[in-house]
Amino acid sequence: MLHFKNFCIKYQSVLLYAVFGVLTTIVNILVFFVFYNLLHTDHNIAYIVAWFWAVFFAYLTNRVWVFHSKNTTFADITKEIWQFYLARILTGIIGYFILNFGVDLLKQDANIWNVIQNIFVIVSNFVLSKLIIFKKDNNV
C-alpha cells in the first residue's frame, strides 16, 4: 500500500491531469454529440462549440487541481489564461484538421474521429501545460 501511495504522490499531476483530461474529453464529446446529432449542426460548428466548453472546463480544473497555480495578480493570471488558450488554439486547430481528415477526406464517422483527435489533443496539452503554462517558476 505504501508503494501505491508513493506512486500517487510522485505522479500526482499526471494522474490528476488524466482524470481531468478524461472529464474534459467527456465534456467535449457530449457537447459535440448534442450539437452534431441532436441539434443537427455541421460537424465544424459542433467541433468549435465543443472545443470552447472543453477548454473552459480544462483551464479551471488544471489551474486549481492539476498544476496548483499560485498566480494571484491580474497580470500573472491574464498571462496564464492567454498562454493556456493560445496552446489550446494550436492543438484545437490540429485536432480540427484531424477531424476533417477523417470525416471529409476518409468519409468516416465524425463521432469516432472526434475521439481520435481528442487523444492527440490531451497528450499535447499536458506537455504544453507542464512545460510552458504552469511551470513552477511561473508560479512565484
Average pLDDT value for the chain: 89
Q: What is the pLDDT of residues 46-91, one digit of tens each?
A: 999 998 899 989 998 999 898 888 888 999 988 988 898 898 899 9
What span, in angstroms and rounded, lies between the C-alpha atoms of 98 and 75? Answer: 34
**pLDDT (0 to 100) of residue 104:** 95
**pLDDT (0 to 100) of residue 23:** 94
What span, in angstroms and rounded, lies between the C-alpha atoms of 25 and 121? Answer: 9
Residue 139 has pLDDT above 80, yes or no: no
Listed by start position, the domains of the chain span: 13-138
Q: Please state, in angstroms and as integers, the Cα–Cα distance from residue 85 to each residue in 41, 55, 127, following that order.
A: 24, 7, 14
**pLDDT (0 to 100) of residue 137:** 60
Q: Decide: 99 and 109 in contact? Cβ < 8 Å.
A: no
The C-alpha cell of 80 is what? 496564464
Residue type, 41: T
